[in-house]
Amino acid sequence: MARPLTIFTGQWADMKLEKLAPLLKKMGYEGVEIAITPNHFDMTKADKDSYLKNRWDILKKNGLNCFALSNHLVGQCVCDVIDERHKAIIPDYIWGDGKPEGVRRRAAEEMIKTAKVCKRFMSLRPKGMAASPIQPTVTGFTGSSIWGFMYSFPPASKEMIEAGYKDFAKRWLPILDAFDKEGVNFALEVHPTEIAFDIASAERALAAVNGHKRFGFNYDPSHFGYQGVDYVKFIRKFADRIFHVHMKDVWWGHGSREAGVFGGHTEFTDPRRYWDFRSIGHGDINFEEIIVALNDIGYAGPLSVEWEDGRMDRIYGATESAKRVKAFDFPRSEIAFDSAFDKKNQ
């Protein structure tokens, strides 16, 4: 059986869920990875079962399921060096007076609350809707106090880098313990600006939290390809830690290459860029290899399209992406293909 096809609602945060849901169904999706944002899933209302049931009512009415919540933006603030950019992406009650440590503390508290809300929300799934193929999952970011040291000049000492991972562990272990209490997984989207942004840093992040069983990854190949990281090897190396999967494409080496991997302070779609996110099938990611690897590790969770392509209409692109994912996703074989030759099977 093919995996559930869902879409991350973050890029549609300007639309009320009531209007977005029928559009997503029309585009070919079976469910949502619902972004915690006022129009889709308002955390200030999420302590009321009536609100959670209303979210399910909207989804069920439109033939959509949900297997994961996303709280990327708040998670970003747990470890980050806080500045005015964060004010634009988080609720006012988390920003508060903007003092960095207070923002980080409130963000951590909100992530703990997210685990509790996720458990409650998933438990209210209406009868008749398919249960989640995976444990309840929150996808998100962690932030990083050492991303500014990514290019090491002036040289960052080993002690400075180690302090960053210790800071991550100190701030996230209590959150992960709370997730464990609720039976909910946290899936970090390995991504530039996070404590883990490639295979090496993901290994170090996992070690920093002592292999905590609730800490895993929201796999997204688009963040590896242009960096030159082996995005298929990531799946195999972290086979038991792939808690959720994003389907997103990227191309690299297509522009005039006046701006390199670091972007040259250009904006997305600038033709001088070395890389840009693309709609599925319009970039350089080999999704066939990804599906084979996911089958090899036995991943049965959703494939969640995160649609980002500044050169394409989003409704056209997300509709096409749904068709493409359905076309290249296939179930793993449960038998050896040549076992039919054995006489006892005939």
* Per-residue pLDDT tens over the stretch 22-61: 999 999 999 999 999 999 999 999 999 999 999 999 999 9
- 320-323 long-range contacts, CB within 8 A, separation 24+: 320/279, 320/280, 320/281, 321/247, 321/279, 321/280, 321/281, 322/5, 322/7, 322/27, 322/28, 322/29, 323/28
Residue 63 has pLDDT above 90, yes or no: yes
Residue 345 has pLDDT above 90, yes or no: no
What pLDDT digit, counting tens, does each position of 245-281 carry?
A: 999 999 999 988 999 999 999 999 999 999 999 999 9
| CA angle (218, 219, 224) in 5-degree steps | 130
Query: In this predicted structure, what is the pLDDT of residue 10?
Result: 97
Residue 115's CATH number: 3.20.20.150
The answer to whether 64 and 32 have CB atoms below 8 angstroms apart is: yes
What pLDDT digit, counting tens, does each position of 310-326 carry?
A: 999 999 999 999 999 99
Query: In this predicted structure, what is the pLDDT of residue 344?
Result: 74
Residue for token pair 């989804």: 59
Question: For residue 340, what pLDDT band results from cuts at 50, 70 and 90?
Answer: low
Length of the chain counted residue by residue: 346
Rounded percentage of the chain residues whose pLDDT exceeds 90: 92
Q: 314 exposed, middle or buried (CB, 10 Å; 0-12, 13-18, 19+)?
A: middle
Question: For residue 2, what pLDDT band results from cuts at 50, 70 and 90?
Answer: confident
The answer to whether 256 and 271 have CB atoms below 8 angstroms apart is: yes
Query: In this predicted structure, what is the pLDDT of residue 337?
Result: 64
Query: In this predicted structure, what is the pLDDT of residue 208?
Result: 98
Q: 312 exposed, middle or buried (CB, 10 Å; 0-12, 13-18, 19+)?
A: middle
Alpha-carbon gap, residue 161 to 173, rounded angstroms? 18
Which tokens go with 117? 């809300």
The alpha carbon of 301 is separated from its chain's Cα centroid by a whole number of angstroms, namely 13
Question: For residue 106, what pLDDT band results from cuts at 50, 70 and 90?
Answer: very high
Domain limits at 270?
A: 5-345
**What average pLDDT does range 208-237 have in this prediction?**
98
Query: In this predicted structure, what is the pLDDT of residue 346?
Result: 73
What pLDDT digit, counting tens, does each position of 285-311 carry?
A: 999 999 999 999 999 999 999 999 999
Query: In this predicted structure, what is the pLDDT of residue 332?
Result: 79
Alpha-carbon gap, residue 195 to 283, rounded angstroms? 26
The answer to whether 68 and 304 have CB atoms below 8 angstroms apart is: yes
What pLDDT digit, counting tens, does each position of 146-197 carry?
A: 999 999 899 999 999 999 999 999 999 999 999 999 999 999 999 999 999 9
The answer to whether 108 and 175 have CB atoms below 8 angstroms apart is: yes
**Mean pLDDT in the chain?**
96
What is the total count of domains within the chain? Answer: 1
